[in-house]
Amino acid sequence: MSGDILLTPGPTPLPPQVREALGRPIIHHRTSQYRSLFRRVLQRMQAVMQTAQPVVCLTSSGTGAMEASVVNLLSPGDEAIVVLGGKFGERWQEVCAAYGIRAAPVPVAYGEAVDPERAASILRAHPKAKAMFATLCETSTGGVPDIQALAAVTRASRAVLVVDAISGLLADECQTDAWGVDVLVTGSQKGLMLPPGLAFLSLSERAWALVNEAKTPRFYTDLRGYRKALADDDTPFTSAVSLVVALDEALTLILQEGVPKVLQRCGLMAQATRSGVEAMGLRLFAQRPSNGVTAIRVPEGIDGKSLAKLMYDRSHVMIAGGQGEMAGKVVRIAHMGHIGPGDILAGLAALEGALVALGHEVAAGTGVQAARAMLESIVHSP
Ligand SMILES: *Cc1c(COP(=O)(O)O)cnc(C)c1O
């Protein structure tokens, strides 16, 4: 419904400029007009992804780019390392399994942050591993690992580091080139403020060398074709024209504000959410909380699914429940992209209302007050 407040970690709300662009008449993709737009968009994506490497754009959801990185970097029977700790870390493992890649897990309990030393020792035990797969914002737990430390660990090995930044991009800091992240994967429907449908990858020289050696069968996702087409500002297959046109508008908004400011603003929304939630007596799920999404432990005796449903029914605020084993025990509030202070305050008010309706005691207005105090203290500080 149009009056809904979407606080879900994808899709996220669309700014008016993006919605307007999506409604424009379509242009043809094999034209100089489109090519120059496509070139500009990919150059600006380099700034957002903090890399000087070429950016490849796929028409797929984010998982398509995850799969593209597995099939392009590795061959059946190859070894890899997968950092677990949530449903998306497990997705890397599932994609590897689907292609016969032997993925050694770095086990991480849900909500906890990976110990980079542990990852290093597993990498040392698998000296043939060609890649380590990790997740920037583990959307299922609301946690963010120390990617910089994981990058340092992989630099000391022959493995490339592949990071799923689908929800983490523009929410949690990730200095792709400066830290030595070899492959960064992202999608359109989170921090980029677009509908679902586009996915992006950037690859280091080390990673492109693997692409040329990999033996896994691939066709649509063969990155060699995309790299070749990039020379002509083109894609091997039909580009998602309208989404790319809308992305140009989203990137104008993002780069006018500046990536550091966007990260700072998202961090402020996260801090306000966390302080509001904690003021209501609720506990965070993640040890190292992400700025993209806050996962909240649902109090004993309350079912998280009913809580989220009640929030929607009463207030038209849509949040996410828990995934897998976390279903019912966790609810998640996103604050990435085009989600502002008013949305966060509305979300906290709706959360309070639903908790009270389910019999959980919350002093009236505590969450909203704490969040507002946080928003104001930072807005007014020099
Ligand atoms: C949303 C998300 C995905 C994405 O997937 P889709 O294929 O776009 O549904 C992958 N990883 C993370 C961490 C995500 O948050």
Ligand 1, closest atom to CA 136? 13
- What is the maximum alpha-carbon separation in the chain? 62
Output the CA 321–ligand 1 centroid distance in Å. Answer: 15
20: tokens are 């307007």
DSSP count for the chain of H helices, then E strands: 14, 12
How many other C-beta atoms lie within 10 A of the C-beta of residue 25? Answer: 5
Please state, in angstroms and rounded to a whole number, the distance separating the CA atoms of residues 144 and 289.
6
C-alpha 62 to ligand 1 mean position (Å) = 5
Report the residue among 90, 166, 185, 194 best suited for mutation to probe ligand 1: largest number of ligand atoms under 8 A from its CB.
166
Atom in ligand 1 nearest the alpha carbon of residue 139: 15
- pLDDT of the chain, 382 residues: tens digit per residue: 568 999 999 999 999 999 999 999 999 999 999 999 999 999 999 999 999 999 999 999 999 999 999 999 999 999 999 999 999 999 999 999 999 999 999 999 999 999 999 999 999 999 999 999 999 999 999 999 999 999 999 998 999 999 999 999 999 999 999 999 999 999 999 999 999 999 999 999 999 999 999 999 999 999 999 999 999 999 999 999 999 999 999 999 999 999 999 999 999 999 999 999 999 999 999 999 999 999 999 999 999 999 999 999 999 999 999 999 999 999 999 999 999 999 999 999 999 999 999 999 999 999 999 999 999 976 665 5
Distance between CA 321 and CA 295 in Å, rounded?
A: 9
Structure tokens at 163: 């990071």
Contact 250, 259 (CB under 8 A): no
Residues framing ligand 1 (Cβ under 6 A) = 9-10, 61-63, 88, 135, 137, 139, 164, 166-167, 187, 196
Alpha-carbon distance of 52 to 46, in angstroms, equals: 6
Cα(84) to centroid(ligand 1), Å: 15
Q: Are 227 and 54 in contact (CB under 8 A)?
A: yes
Mutation test residue for ligand 1: of 88, 133, 163, 293, the one with most atoms within 8 Å of CB:
88
CA dist 202 → 66, 212, 346, 352 (Å): 12, 15, 36, 41
pTM over 0.85: yes
Query: Which residue segments constitute the domains of the chain, with CATH numbers given?
Result: 5-9+258-379 (3.90.1150.10), 16-256 (3.40.640.10)
Q: For residue 375, is it left (φ>0), alpha (ψ between -120 and 50) or beta?
A: alpha
How close is the Cα of 10 to the center of ligand 1, in Å?
A: 8
CA distances to 11, 56, 103, 228, 318 from 295, rounded to whole Å, are 17, 31, 28, 41, 14
